[in-house]
């Protein structure tokens, strides 16, 4: 009986294991997960902390018992140590006992995800220092908040997690200072969108400090009392670091599995690594960026789920492909929705394009219909007319607009095509000229088309 061994029980790993189990019920399928929890929605963690998600159990997609009921042998707290590729075995540590053993396989899927990246900073450790990457992180922070009155927090990092945690800590009555070492917000926001996000945060009481150099963490015993920066000391009751992630692939050191300089596994459209019998999927992998045509590291749950399904199909002998991504993402800062897809002007220049950009502000609904508000749309195109990227922010309707732009990017549409796209209209949902169409028309004019 063939055996599939999956390393990692989250989105990619569980999607692949379930797919193989359905397509090849005679196979033995084993999933090794280093954490205590298989198959949960990590993206919901900030909202559990803030109280929008009431119970931690609501985050579970599948419990370990439900996974086993599918005929999948899932083992928790089992950490991959080394790949013995020539022997088709994996060296594993049983974390509860500290013992090690070798697990055989016929087919191997690596779905180890990513891990939180902490800056190399003196003193950056303590019982009030947190990351927000997995359910264990969430439990620890929730206990800390529940144990006593926590009045203040410093959140380091202005990416998706940093912004979401600033909002949700504020919902718990915590005074939040949000800092970043550069002027960037969500990595690639253009100034017009970035400034609106910052204004929304500050209007809701979040203190934002950009271009801050953190020099050291000042400690008192087991706790951090402040971050010493070039702008003065920042004291707080708790400190949360959200400065990025890196692929969790250190155990592949010395193996033939190909990886990028940052450790992301290189795979083809079937999620195969090029090493016989070994596939990889999810946040531990590079993906093809459909706008640039180049490999990129863009760890997102939607991508992990799709890659896991494709990998499972390929392992089972079916023909399915994962073509790539355009980098679509969305988040919220209090009452402001923010969506991005494709390339910013700076990213377009770095990729060798000659970018032209346009930005407009328009109402989210017909002017005579109550409610709604102003939405900002920024579009980037190559001078030859190909759409390269979009950024949208506003109080409502951002998901539909950014998804439309993502579809246009995936299809390789030109700006003039987008400007005439047949988008839905009714007064409660959009003006007769949707803001996305208005922005495309302005950009079309700038391109002289």
Q: Cβ of 336: how many Cβ atoms within 10 Å? A: 24
Report CA torsion sign: 187, 191, 196, 201: positive
Query: How far apart (Å, rounded) are the C-alpha atoms in residues 237 and 352?
Result: 46
User: In 3-state terms, what secondary structure has residue 330?
Assistant: strand
Classify residue 149 by burial, with Cβ atoms within 10 Å: 0-12, 13-18, 19+: exposed
Contacts of 82 (CB under 8 A, 6+ apart): 90, 91, 251, 254, 255
Residue with tokens 């209090």: 334
SS3 for 138-203 is HHHHHHHHHHCCCCEEEEECCCHHHHHHHHHHHHCCCEEEEECCCCCCCCCCCHHHHHHHHHHHHH
Backbone conformation region of residue 305, classed left if phi is above 0, alpha if psi is from -120 to 50, else beta:
alpha
Is residue 393 part of the annotated active site? The answer reads no
Phi, psi for 247 (deg, rounded to 5) = -60, 140
Active-site residue (options: 43, 271, 285, 393): 43
Cα–Cα dist 378/193, whole Å: 8
**Distance from C-alpha of 305 to C-alpha of 311, rounded to nearest angstrom:** 10
| Distance separating alpha carbons of residues 66 and 275, to the nearest angstrom | 32
Residues with active-site annotation: 43
């Amino acid at each position: 009986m063939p055996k599939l061994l999956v390393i990692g029980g989250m989105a990619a790993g569980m999607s692949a294991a379930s797919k193989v189990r359905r397509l090849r019920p005679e196979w033995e399928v084993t999933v090794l997960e280093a954490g205590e929890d298989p198959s949960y929605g990590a993206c919901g963690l900030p909202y559990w902390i803030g109280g929008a998600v009431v119970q931690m159990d609501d985050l579970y997609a599948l419990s370990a018992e439900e996974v086993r009921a599918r005929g999948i042998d899932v083992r928790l707290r089992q950490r991959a140590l080394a790949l013995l590729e020539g022997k088709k075995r994996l060296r594993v540590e049983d974390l509860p006992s500290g013992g090690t053993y070798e697990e055989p396989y016929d087919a191997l899927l690596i779905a180890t995800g990513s891990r939180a990246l902490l800056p190399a900073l003196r003193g950056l450790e303590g019982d009030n220092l947190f990351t927000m990457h997995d359910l264990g992180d969430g439990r620890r922070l929730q206990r800390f908040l529940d144990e006593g009155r926590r009045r203040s927090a410093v959140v380091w990092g202005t990416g998706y997690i940093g912004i979401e945690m600033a909002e949700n800590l504020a919902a718990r009555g915590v005074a939040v200072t949000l800092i970043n070492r550069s002027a960037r917000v969500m990595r690639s926001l253009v100034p017009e969108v970035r400034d609106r996000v910052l204004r929304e945060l500050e209007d809701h009481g979040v203190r934002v400090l950009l271009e801050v150099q953190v020099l050291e963490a000042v400690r008192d015993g087991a706790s951090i009392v402040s971050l010493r920066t070039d702008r003065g000391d920042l004291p707080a009751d708790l400190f949360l670091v959200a400065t990025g992630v890196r692929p969790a692939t250190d155990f592949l050191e010395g193996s033939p599995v190909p990886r990028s300089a940052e450790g992301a596994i290189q795979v083809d459209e079937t999620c195969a690594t090029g090493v016989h019998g070994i596939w990889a999927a999810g946040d531990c992998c590079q993906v093809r960026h459909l706008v640039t045509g180049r490999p990129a590291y863009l760890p997102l749950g939607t991508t992990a789920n799709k890659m896991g399904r494709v990998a499972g199909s390929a392992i089972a002998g079916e023909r399915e492909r994962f073509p790539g991504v355009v980098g679509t993402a969305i988040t919220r800062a209090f009452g402001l929705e923010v969506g991005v897809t494709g390339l910013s002007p700076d990213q377009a220049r770095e990729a060798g394009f000659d970018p032209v950009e346009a930005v407009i502000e328009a109402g989210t609904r017909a002017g005579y219909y109550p409610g709604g508000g102003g939405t900002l749309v920024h579009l980037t195109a190559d001078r030859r007319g190909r759409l390269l990227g979009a950024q949208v922010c506003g109080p409502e309707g951002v998901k539909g607009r950014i998804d439309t732009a993502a579809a246009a990017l995936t299809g390789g549409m030109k700006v003039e095509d987008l400007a005439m796209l047949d988008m839905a209209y009714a007064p409660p949902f959009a003006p007769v000229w949707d803001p996305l169409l208005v922005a495309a028309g302005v950009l079309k004019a700038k391109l002289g088309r």
